[in-house]
Amino acid sequence: MAAGLFGSYRVLLAPMAGVSDAAFRTLCIEQGADLTYTEMVSAKGLSYANEKTRHLLELAEGERRVGVQLFGHEPATMASQAAWVEDVLGDKLACIDVNMGCPARKIVTKGDGSALMKDPVLAETIVSAIRESVSCKVTAKFRRGWGEGDETAPEFAKRLEQAGVDAVTVHGRFATQMYKGRSDRGAIARVKGAVTVPVVGNGDVRTAQDALDLVADTGCDAVMVARGAQGNPWIFSQVKSAFDGCEPPEAPSARDRIEMARRHARLLNARDPRSVVRMRKHAMWYVAGLPDASRARGLINDCSTLDEFERLFDRIVQHVEALAERDEL
């Protein structure tokens, strides 16, 4: 495999709105993520000194460096807030990443996220403005193209490279696909062939083999894991073992998964007891595939406090282990 992003980062946790908070990043770091990213942060929100927005910049436990992903479409605002983030985080900041890939309707209707792929001149201007305002690495994350069937990523990447970007992350779907269909590795390979800066491959990395195949098929310099890490922070240790040619770590047991969910809930509660309700979606990912998971999901929706989650996790473990003992008999 080629040298990793910035010389050392090979396996990255993607910026995911409502998912990549400090609690989740802590678990992914412990499992071997080389670099983690914040949830996407609104440059406009930062410019208004919005405390809810600034809260997204808090570092996770054990997070020596972090990537901060900004979204917006106003070059001056993006540049000024990138400079502010760098001033606040100092050497803890690995890079400013520009979100040019989010396909969510509420983002693109404002001209942000993947809507920037429809205006490559503006995208180039944003990268140039940020590049002039910060000394840290500047990266951009985008998709295969905007409209399905119209691949613009290679040319788009070349424009961003000319504007001064230090690396790009490519998701192999078109924006209008959202998350349907398969991520096209060929698109990532074509971007890799079009630029000289490091290219990070993203899309449908759910197993260590997926990561190995992505690198083999595209020549990408690093792999970014998104939905494959939801309820599965172990994927980072699995991918790194595969990259190193080592025996894969043992797959987590049902108890392991529930105990990780328990720790996740405790981390959320320790930061802010009001945020523990965010554990509902995480808990549903952790229980996916376990016996009677559908019933567990219904009970998860009734949990609002740490104590309620703790009691439910106890019940799930007891139920799964009782079923296992019955099968052994």
Which positions are annotated as active-site residues?
Answer: 102
Specify the residue for token string 């606040």. 88
Which regions of the chain does DSSP assign to beta strands (E)?
11-13, 35-37, 41-42, 66-71, 93-100, 137-145, 167-174, 199-202, 222-225
Pinpoint the alpha helices (H) of the chain.
Answer: 22-30, 43-47, 51-54, 75-89, 105-108, 120-133, 153-163, 185-194, 208-218, 235-243, 254-271, 279-287, 293-300, 306-328
How many other C-beta atoms are found inside a 10 Å radius of the C-beta of residue 193?
12
Single out the residue of 206, 227, 70, 88 nearest to residue 138, CA to CA: 70
| CA distances to 47, 88, 169 from 141, in Å | 22, 23, 4
300: amino acid identity, one letter: I
